Structure formats: structure tokens, C-alpha cells
Amino acid sequence: MQSGRSHRWAFFGFAFRVVVALFVLAVLGFPIFVWSLPRASSAPPASDAIVALTGGEGRLAAGLELLELGKGQRLLISGVHSGTTRAELFAAVGQLPMRAACCVDLGRGAENTIGNAGETAVWADKHGYRSIIVVTATYHMPRSLMELRAVMPGTKLVPYPVFPDRVRLAEWWSDPETTGVLTGEYLKFIVSAVRLGVATRFFTQPASAPDEAIIEEAPGQPAESPDSATQDLSSGWVSGQH
């Protein structure tokens, strides 16, 4: 009886030490996570396509601007609410680029970053895209890339972060709103890393992707093939904050 109690206490003691160690690692990892976030956008290389993940300011405008500059043949806006029309979605953008009519698809099934990744994987597979520019907020980029790489490991992903005004990275430790946003995103990043680590056997195999997605294709004429689009991409570029 005494031996059984000793084993239980030993187990609880070991479990407690593991929890404390993980907590310390998580706390120490937070400033590293913040400092690793990009502070500016550089000109992305020409790619097959572009995906903009909804959920924050500047993402849609940046995706459309990259499309107009010829950085990708087609743009997917992932995570558009089923009740939102194209006119409502683009209302805040102002003057739309000429290619918006032919080359902007709306993903209407994703409700979170996991859904964004699955939706993008289905879309990219359908069109045969092998390189994609990813547009999302700078603090959301690490988790987005991790989710996307898990379901489409053979695709080259090019990050193009945007910078919401309310998230002030230069003053993250003194601005309560920024600290709250970054803390919440860091915790989500850890959860996603653990989930994907288990699902992919520590990232040694792809995660499962959906067979289909709810994607509303652009009403205009379809864009040209990825090969010809890559050859005709413009030399324009985008930089700076959005």
C-alpha cells in the first residue's frame, strides 16, 4: 500500500515538474515570438497565385494591389462570410484593379486559420499552383504559414505581412491592446504547433486536407495558365506598411 502511494506521488511530482518546465519555456518563448515578427514588407517574388486571409485591416487591399502588379495570376480571399456579397466585400477598398473582375475568387467555407489552410490547399490543387504569396497580419503570419505548410508541404509559400494600426509592435510591452493581441496569438500558435505535431508525426508527413471547399470563382474570364502567367508578370513591386 505504501509502495503504491509512493509511486503515485512520484508520478504527480514528475508531472508537476513537466508542467512547470513547459510553462517556463512558453513564457521565455513569448518575447522570441514577438521579436521574430517582421516589421516591414519587402517586395515578394513573382508567384503563381496570392491568398489573402480575411480577419483584419489591410489584407484585402494588399492582396488586390499585389494582383494588379502581376505578382500572381489569381487571388483567393479565404474566409469570406457566406452572406457577404462581392460588392460589400470590396466597398471599403475604393477603386478596384482591372483584374479584380476576372481573377479574384472567394473562399466561403473557412471559419478559422485551419479552415483557411484547407480552403487554400483545395484551391491551389485545383489550379495546379506551386508557389503562393500569403497575405495576412504580421502577428498572424507564423501560425498561418505553419497551418498552410502542414497541408501543402510541396508548395512554396511567400509571406507578405500587413500591419494593422492597432497592433504597435515597436511598443508591444507598454501598449495593453497590442500585448493582448500578441499573447492571444502566441497561445494559439502553441496549440496549433502541438496539434499539428501530433497530426503529422512531428512534421514528418502532411496533415490531412479536405477534398473540396466552398469557393466562389470570379465572374469574369478565367486567368491564363500558371506557366504563361509567370512569364508575363510585371516588374512592379510593393513595399512598406499597409
Burial code (b: 16+ CB inside 10 Å, e: under 16) for 67-92 equals bbbbbbbbbbbbbbeeeeebeebbee
Q: How confident is the model at residue 216 (pLDDT cuts 50, 70, 90)?
A: very high
Q: Is the pTM of this model over 0.85?
A: no
Mean pLDDT, residues 183-198 taken together: 95
CB atoms within 10 A of CB 214: 13
Q: What is the pLDDT of residue 93?
A: 81
Q: What's residue 223's pLDDT?
A: 43
Helix axes 113-127, 176-199, angle to 10 degrees: 60
C-alpha distance from residue 121 to each of 50, 69, 78, 131 (Å): 12, 24, 11, 12
Tens digits of residue pLDDT in 80-108: 999 999 988 888 787 787 888 899 999 99
Can you give the pLDDT at residue 92?
Answer: 76
Residue in this structure with the C-alpha cell 494559439, named with its chain if needed: 188
